[in-house]
């Protein structure tokens, strides 16, 4: 198709003569040397992750979903039953907000007034999860779309939760690794097992297999059969009109006391005045899995918004948090609303098919909020064979950052101070606007009390200006430590009273008498490329400030090393104590080792990924470095070598290494660099490392089709097997050569099945060959690496099933999901295939395809 289009374009529109290589050569030879690109590097570039955060922050701050021109008349009353729990007419109970700063309880009427007056910026901004899940009225959904959207929902959730958990830098200390109190991951898993049955979450379905080694069998179970989600919501007139099947976009699962709880997002599509209106919803389905052959649905719940986080306590308290972007979507209901009515303008909850509004005493209006975004939080009690909802809250605010510590969520919502006129155009049809002086509102919600259900227990505005996003979180002796995206560090007590803050270098100077400001040395004519300075990372009550250098040596994107510049001990918030500093980079010998910068994942000099702690002495990580001769390699070569490393947590084993940083080369334009100079940094000692096979492409090493490796390493490490499993694929294309005539006769329907290759001949002519693809076989595999006695061993490949397709364009569509190990057998899963392998013999004993 690609060459085909070019051939056809060439037939219809010849290339202007002035672009011929000969004329271009003549033009270049006449050209006087000198800079052409006008763009100058006039500011320090943030690394990719930081930029992403800022972009996302700005986008989130103004993101509203537009349905320009839609006349929304109301819910689809044919399919959605009326609410069955109307508000009490006489004595309306509203939420008690005593002691909660910045929140007020609301009645339906005040919620109506709030939403009606809220800002609704109707740009055509369609960036939800990766720009895909919000559809306009004219968009149509088909099965492929749904699969793709499911993938993007999962990516989105990964990015929001798992990536959020990926600190830019992790300090390699025992303390840092031993701090279980705070979990920023909020991540249910994709493979769960009770030892008898393995459950695997595909993109839009759940599969179950008996964990019986060579007697493994698939348990025939349609998990969503009989759900209100499918039977009622999926029978929406809008879906029927479009001949569309509603699908869940599965985020992950929890398994607790023989109850499997599946978390998912979905589109609730409603037809309003012949228009198709898509609303983001999420839900849970809980199944009693005590009898694998009689798995039964025991509970189901849906609420508005896209999932932003979840948590499950040891005693079975489950909570979910979702963000619903535009509470004003049901505009027509605002017009018809009468005081005291159940609010049809706000989306409903669906509890086992019972349609309910959020109770009035659970609605909070955030005082400084002005937009119509709403955050929903619901809690549930899970016990053997039983699940029920214990509460739901609604807050009129975004859910910009969310972390969990124990049975508490900490939500950080940022309000924008004075608005500047600067408008930053983003890519595509929407735009984001940057504001200045954000102020944050931190809200704690506890969900561990099954009788009370989820409840807001603290809410404060920090005294100081706060960054837009939380980047790190720790807890020590009841104090909460938070880092924000602009480099500030805050310490709070259990009631969110602010104890102290280090608001960047200046603040640290004021607090400690230690001038960290001089770290930010940037000479006017030598601007670092991708230099980020003074990023704080927490290790319990210790704050480490580091500088990070992106590495442009490959002419590609970010990567590089991080240098610890300073450590501040905040164990006594009243007396911050600088315990280490190295401002000029003369020595790093006393610095802690760092693992850092996940943003360097793709092309970094060193790949830092999430870490798998093996013991108190060691952990696993993966790093990447360019091959020594990478400059001589071609475009089809793999330029990088990847290593799995068993690293030491012992500071005594850390070592100092030298790398290079680069300067922006204004003379030659944006992104160009001058020769580098060196810097030193510290890294954790490597006990053992093993080179990963060259065919283990980056893209196939991730579970989310491009997401972080961190999740996969976490889920793919098996303590029982004593091994970590790294996914990779082998693609075999069966094809035959066809004539140009046959090639030209192919139609759009054949896209993905043919291609052409053009070679330049030495005499300046071209030879084009045409091929038709008969079949593509993709062998999905996991490479096992044993971890034992401080050594790594290559255990070889284990099958995750074979996928046969006929369209090359979807060959990278399969995502790896995870593995499970039991009794010498490895159960390996992708979204399309699975296999069971006897690890002793390497024989694949069971295989299943086209799973979900």
Partner 1 sequence: MNRRTRAGLVERAVKGDAKAFAELYSGIYKKLYYYALANLGSSEDAADAVQDAVLDAFDSIGGLKNAAAFDSWLFSILSARIKRKQAEYVQGRNFGAELGEGKENDLPAEDGAFSQCEIVEGFSQLEEKQRLCLSLYTIGGYRTGEIAEMTGLRPSTVRSLISRGRKKLREILDIKKEVKK
Residue among 35 and 417 whose Cβ is closer to partner 1: 35
Q: Name the DSSP class of 395.
A: E
Start-end of H helices in 662-734 = 709-716
Choose the stretch contacting partner 1; rule: CB under 8 A; options: 20-28, 257-265, 338-346, 448-456. 20-28
CB 682 within 8 A of CB 717: no
Q: Does 694 bind partner 1 (CB under 8 A)?
A: no
Q: Does 675 bind partner 1 (CB under 8 A)?
A: no
Residue among 487 and 707 whose Cβ is closer to partner 1: 707
Beta carbon of residue 527, minimum distance to partner 1 (angstroms, whole number):
14
Q: Does 204 bind partner 1 (CB under 8 A)?
A: no
Beta carbon of residue 605, minimum distance to partner 1 (angstroms, whole number):
12
Beta carbon of residue 1, minimum distance to partner 1 (angstroms, whole number):
6
- Per DSSP, the chain holds a count of helices (H) and strands (E) of 13, 48
Beta carbon of residue 817, minimum distance to partner 1 (angstroms, whole number):
15
Beta carbon of residue 35, minimum distance to partner 1 (angstroms, whole number):
6
Beta carbon of residue 361, minimum distance to partner 1 (angstroms, whole number):
41
Beta carbon of residue 661, minimum distance to partner 1 (angstroms, whole number):
15
Residue among 36 and 294 whose Cβ is closer to partner 1: 36
Choose the stretch contacting partner 1; rule: CB under 8 A; options: 112-120, 261-269, 636-644, 686-694. 636-644
Among positions 78, 180, 422, 427, the unique one binding partner 1 when judged by CB under 8 A: 427
When computed from its CA atoms, the radius of gyration of the chain, rounded to whole angstroms, is: 28
Cβ partners under 8 Å of residue 454, min gap 6? 319, 377, 378, 379, 390, 391, 392, 393, 445, 446, 447
Residue among 37 and 71 whose Cβ is closer to partner 1: 37
What's the rounded Cα separation, in Å, for the pair 513 and 354?
Answer: 61
Kind and range of the H or E run holding 2: helix 2-12
Among positions 420, 429, 695, 774, the unique one binding partner 1 when judged by CB under 8 A: 429
Q: Does 806 bind partner 1 (CB under 8 A)?
A: no
Choose the stretch contacting partner 1; rule: CB under 8 A; options: 247-255, 364-372, 425-433, 480-488. 425-433
Beta carbon of residue 127, minimum distance to partner 1 (angstroms, whole number):
10
Choose the stretch contacting partner 1; rule: CB under 8 A; options: 198-206, 311-319, 515-523, 747-755. 747-755
Choose the stretch contacting partner 1; rule: CB under 8 A; options: 12-20, 267-275, 513-521, 769-777. 12-20
Residue among 667 and 774 whose Cβ is closer to partner 1: 667
CB 642 within 8 A of CB 696: yes
Beta carbon of residue 331, minimum distance to partner 1 (angstroms, whole number):
25
Within residues 480-519, the interface with partner 1 by CB under 8 A covers: none
Residue among 632 and 850 whose Cβ is closer to partner 1: 632
Q: Does 763 bind partner 1 (CB under 8 A)?
A: no
What's the rounded Cα separation, in Å, for the pair 733 and 736?
Answer: 10
What are the backbone dihedrals phi and psi of residue 243, each rounded to the nearest 5 degrees, phi first? 55, 45
Beta carbon of residue 529, minimum distance to partner 1 (angstroms, whole number):
10
What percent helix, strand, coil does the chain show, rounded to 5?
Answer: 20, 40, 40
Residue among 48 and 561 whose Cβ is closer to partner 1: 48
Cβ partners under 8 Å of residue 125, min gap 6? 59, 62, 63, 64, 65, 66, 429, 430, 431, 432
Beta strands in 109-233 (DSSP E): 169-171, 182-183, 191-193, 197-201, 206-210, 218-219
Residue among 135 and 365 whose Cβ is closer to partner 1: 135
Q: Does 525 bind partner 1 (CB under 8 A)?
A: no
Among positions 43, 225, 477, 632, the unique one binding partner 1 when judged by CB under 8 A: 632
Q: Name the DSSP class of 157.
A: H
Q: Does 760 bind partner 1 (CB under 8 A)?
A: yes
Q: What is the torsional sign of CA 684, 686, 687, 688?
A: positive
Residue among 259 and 529 whose Cβ is closer to partner 1: 529
Q: Does 280 bind partner 1 (CB under 8 A)?
A: no
Kind and range of the H or E run holding 503: strand 498-503
Within residues 113-172, the interface with partner 1 by CB under 8 A covers: 130-132, 144-145, 148-149, 151-152, 155
- Strand 754-760 relative to strand 401-405, pairing: unpaired
- Cross-strand pairs, 545: 536, 566
Q: Does 813 bind partner 1 (CB under 8 A)?
A: yes
Site track 343-362 with partner 1 (rule: CB under 8 A), x = hit: --------------------
Among positions 651, 671, 722, 786, the unique one binding partner 1 when judged by CB under 8 A: 671
CB 714 within 8 A of CB 612: yes
Residue among 477 and 635 whose Cβ is closer to partner 1: 635
What's the rounded Cα separation, in Å, for the pair 356 and 361?
Answer: 14
Within residues 572-611, the interface with partner 1 by CB under 8 A covers: 602-603
281, HSE (Cβ side, Cα atoms, 13 Å): 24
What's the rounded Cα separation, in Å, for the pair 606 and 593?
Answer: 14
In DSSP notation, 794-838 reads EEEEEEEEEEEES-GGGTT---EEEEEEETTEEEEEESSEEEEEE
Residue among 392 and 557 whose Cβ is closer to partner 1: 557
Beta carbon of residue 697, minimum distance to partner 1 (angstroms, whole number):
9
Among positions 117, 417, 428, 849, the unique one binding partner 1 when judged by CB under 8 A: 428
What's the rounded Cα separation, in Å, for the pair 272 and 343?
Answer: 17
Cβ partners under 8 Å of residue 763, min gap 6? none
Residue among 288 and 551 whose Cβ is closer to partner 1: 551
Beta carbon of residue 777, minimum distance to partner 1 (angstroms, whole number):
18
Within residues 28-57, the interface with partner 1 by CB under 8 A covers: 28-29, 31, 33-37, 39, 48
Among positions 309, 327, 467, 552, the unique one binding partner 1 when judged by CB under 8 A: 552
Beta carbon of residue 532, minimum distance to partner 1 (angstroms, whole number):
17
Site track 697-726 with partner 1 (rule: CB under 8 A), x = hit: --x----xxx--------------------
Within residues 439-458, the interface with partner 1 by CB under 8 A covers: none
Beta carbon of residue 12, minimum distance to partner 1 (angstroms, whole number):
3
Q: Does 5 bind partner 1 (CB under 8 A)?
A: yes
Residue among 141 and 645 whose Cβ is closer to partner 1: 141
What's the rounded Cα separation, in Å, for the pair 353 and 334?
Answer: 25
Beta carbon of residue 17, minimum distance to partner 1 (angstroms, whole number):
9
How many residues make contact with partner 1 (CB under 8 A)?
A: 78
CB 414 within 8 A of CB 400: yes
What's the rounded Cα separation, in Å, for the pair 106 and 363?
Answer: 5
Beta carbon of residue 250, minimum distance to partner 1 (angstroms, whole number):
15
Q: Name the DSSP class of 519.
A: G
Q: Tell me the Ramachandran region of residue 722: left when phi exceeds 0, alpha when psi lies from -120 to 50, beta otherwise.
A: left
What's the rounded Cα separation, in Å, for the pair 14 and 12?
Answer: 7
Token pair listed for 61: 């701050």
Within residues 727-746, the interface with partner 1 by CB under 8 A covers: 745
Q: b/e for 563-589, b at 16 or more Cβ within 10 A?
A: bbbbbbbbeebeebebebbbbebeebe
Among positions 88, 436, 633, 804, the unique one binding partner 1 when judged by CB under 8 A: 633
Residue among 3 and 275 whose Cβ is closer to partner 1: 3
């Amino acid at each position: 198709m690609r060459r085909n289009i070019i051939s056809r374009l060439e037939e219809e529109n010849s290339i202007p003569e002035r672009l011929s290589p000969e004329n271009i050569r003549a033009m270049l030879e006449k050209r006087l040397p000198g800079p052409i690109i006008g763009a100058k590097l006039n500011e320090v570039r943030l690394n990719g992750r930081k930029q992403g955060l800022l972009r996302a922050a700005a986008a989130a701050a103004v993101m509203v979903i537009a349905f320009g021109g839609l006349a929304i008349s109301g819910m689809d009353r044919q399919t959605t039953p009326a609410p069955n729990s109307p508000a009490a007419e006489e004595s309306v109970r509203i939420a008690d907000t005593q002691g909660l700063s910045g929140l007020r309880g609301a009645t339906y009427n005040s919620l109506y007034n709030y939403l009606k007056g809220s800002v609704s910026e109707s740009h055509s901004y369609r960036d939800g999860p990766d720009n895909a899940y919000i559809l306009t009225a004219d968009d149509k959904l088909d099965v492929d779309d749904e699969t793709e959207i499911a993938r993007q929902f999962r990516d989105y959730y990964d990015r929001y939760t798992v990536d959020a958990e990926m600190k830019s830098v992790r300090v390699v200390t025992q303390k840092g690794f031993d701090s279980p109190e705070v979990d920023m991951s909020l991540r249910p898993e994709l493979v769960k097992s009770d030892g008898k049955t393995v459950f695997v979450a595909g993109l839009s379905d759940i599969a179950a297999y008996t964990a019986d080694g060579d007697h493994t069998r698939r348990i025939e179970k349609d998990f969503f059969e009989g759900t209100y989600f499918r039977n009622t919501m999926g029978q929406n007139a809008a879906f029927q009109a479009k001949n569309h099947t509603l699908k869940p976009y599965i985020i992950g699962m929890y398994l607790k006391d023989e109850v499997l709880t599946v978390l998912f997002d979905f589109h609730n599509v409603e037809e309003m005045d012949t228009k198709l209106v898509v609303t983001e919803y999420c839900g849970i389905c809980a199944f009693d899995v005590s009898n694998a052959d009689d798995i039964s649905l025991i509970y189901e719940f849906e609420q508005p918004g896209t999932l932003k986080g979840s948590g499950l306590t040891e005693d079975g308290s489950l909570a979910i948090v979702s963000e619903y972007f535009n509470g004003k979507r049901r505009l027509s209901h605002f017009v018809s609303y009468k005081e005291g009515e159940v609010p049809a303008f706000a989306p409903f909850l669906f509890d086992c098919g019972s349609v309910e509004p959020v109770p009035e005493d659970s609605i909070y209006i955030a005082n400084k909020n002005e937009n119509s975004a709403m955050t929903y939080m619901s809690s549930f009690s899970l016990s053997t064979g039983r699940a029920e909802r214990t509460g739901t809250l609604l807050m009129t605010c975004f859910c910009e950052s969310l972390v969990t510590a124990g049975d508490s969520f900490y939500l950080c919502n940022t309000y924008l101070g004075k608005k500047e006129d600067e408008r930053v155009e983003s890519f595509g049809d929407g735009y984001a606007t940057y504001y200045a002086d954000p102020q944050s509102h931190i809200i704690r919600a506890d969900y561990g009390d099954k009788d009370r259900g989820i409840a807001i227990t603290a809410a404060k505005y920090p005294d100081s200006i706060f960054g837009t996003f939380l980047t790190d979180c720790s807890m020590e002796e009841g104090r909460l430590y938070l880092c924000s995206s602009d480099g500030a560090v805050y310490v709070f007590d259990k009631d969110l009273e602010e104890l102290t803050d280090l608001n960047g270098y200046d603040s640290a100077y004021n607090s400690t008498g230690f001038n960290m400001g001089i770290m930010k040395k940037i000479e006017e004519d030598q601007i670092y490329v991708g230099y980020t300075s003074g990023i704080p990372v927490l290790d319990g009550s210790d704050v480490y400030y580091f500088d990070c250098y992106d590495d442009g040596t490959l002419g590609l994107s970010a990567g590089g090393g991080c240098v610890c510049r300073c450590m501040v001990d905040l164990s006594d918030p009243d007396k911050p104590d600088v315990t280490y500093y190295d401002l000029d980079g003369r020595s790093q010998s006393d610095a802690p080792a760092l693992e850092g910068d996940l943003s360097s994942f793709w092309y970094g000099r060193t790949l830092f990924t999430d870490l798998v702690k093996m013991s108190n002495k060691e952990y696993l990580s993966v790093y990447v470095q360019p091959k020594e001769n990478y400059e001589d390699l071609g475009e089809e070569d793999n330029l990088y070598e990847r290593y799995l490393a068993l690293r030491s947590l012992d500071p005594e084993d850390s070592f100092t290494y030298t790398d290079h940083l680069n300067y922006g080369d204004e003379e030659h334009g944006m992104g160009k660099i001058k020769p580098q100079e060196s810097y030193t940094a510290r890294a954790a000692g490597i006990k053992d490392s093993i080179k990963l096979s060259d065919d283990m492409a980056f893209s196939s090493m991730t579970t989310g089709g491009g997401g972080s490796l961190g999740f996969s390493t976490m889920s793919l490490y098996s303590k029982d097997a004593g091994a970590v499993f790294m996914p990779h694929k082998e693609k075999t294309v069966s094809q035959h050569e066809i004539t140009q005539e046959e090639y030209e006769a192919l139609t759009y329907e054949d896209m993905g099945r043919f291609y052409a290759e053009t070679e330049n001949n030495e005499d300046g002519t071209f030879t084009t060959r045409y091929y038709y693809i008969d079949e593509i076989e993709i062998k999905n595999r996991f490479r096992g690496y044993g971890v034992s006695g401080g050594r790594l061993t290559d255990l070889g490949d284990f099958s995750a099933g074979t996928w046969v397709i006929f369209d090359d364009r979807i060959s990278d569509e399969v995502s790896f999901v995870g593995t499970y190990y039991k009794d010498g057998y490895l159960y390996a899963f992708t979204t399309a295939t699975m296999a069971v392998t006897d690890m002793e013999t390497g024989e694949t004993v069971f295989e299943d395809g086209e799973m979900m």
